[in-house]
Amino acid sequence: MNFKMRVFFFKTEGVAEELMEQLSREYRVKADQIPPAYPVENEKLILVCIDDGAAKPKKALVDFCRNLDNARCQNVAFSSTSKGGVEAAKELSDIIRSNNINVVDEPHLIPVKSGLFGSKVTDESVSDVKIWAKHIIDIIHQ
């Protein structure tokens, strides 16, 4: 990969963090939570994973997206570990577009295993998020 990219996660359960850490290792890029410890600057692509079942995005996510501009990033793609998070990502996509930043593809739902003690990352989840990330990268390289 020959461009700047970062991966971010917004978590309530920790599944998103684990998935974004997988991408961080795969692409040798920084993974950070939202809100990030360091501001986004001059990234060609930002991948965001939402691990929150709410259909309305939390304030931290909205603020993060509102603060992005073309100097900070050119492309953003969203994924989620829940259907509610996909709905929240659609609202966040509108905010990103209003800042003249490209939203790559529709928000992606990552399959995770739900159980009595919360969601769990599986090999299928990891494979799915890697395939999704490659798909997004391929789109912006066209």
- Asked if residue 78 lies in contact with residue 89, where contact means CB atoms within 8 angstroms, the answer is yes
- Asked if residue 121 lies in contact with residue 15, where contact means CB atoms within 8 angstroms, the answer is yes
Residue 114, H or E segment: strand 113-115
What is the pTM assigned to this prediction?
A: 0.93
Residue 8, H or E segment: strand 5-11
Query: What value does the mean pLDDT of the chain take?
Result: 92
Query: 66-96 burial, b for 16+ CB within 10 Å, e for fewer?
Result: eebeeeebbbbbbbbbbebbbbbbbebbebb
d(CA 103, CA 38): 22
Q: What's the confidence (pLDDT) of residue 49?
A: 96
What is the rounded average pLDDT of the residues 95-119?
88
Q: What's the confidence (pLDDT) of residue 117?
A: 63
What is the homologous superfamily of the domain 5-140 according to CATH?
A: Flavodoxin domain (3.40.50.360)
Peptide bond into 57 cis (omega under 30): no
**What's the pLDDT tens digit per position in 71-103?**
999 999 999 999 999 999 999 999 999 999 999
d(CA 93, CA 64): 12
What is the rounded average pLDDT of the residues 31-54?
93
What is the rounded average pLDDT of the residues 97-116?
90
pLDDT band at 28 (very low <50, low <70, confident <90, very high): very high
Q: Residue 105: count other Cβ atoms within 10 Å of its Cβ.
A: 15
Domain boundaries, the chain: 5-140
Query: 22-31 burial, b for 16+ CB within 10 Å, e for fewer?
Result: bbbeebebbb
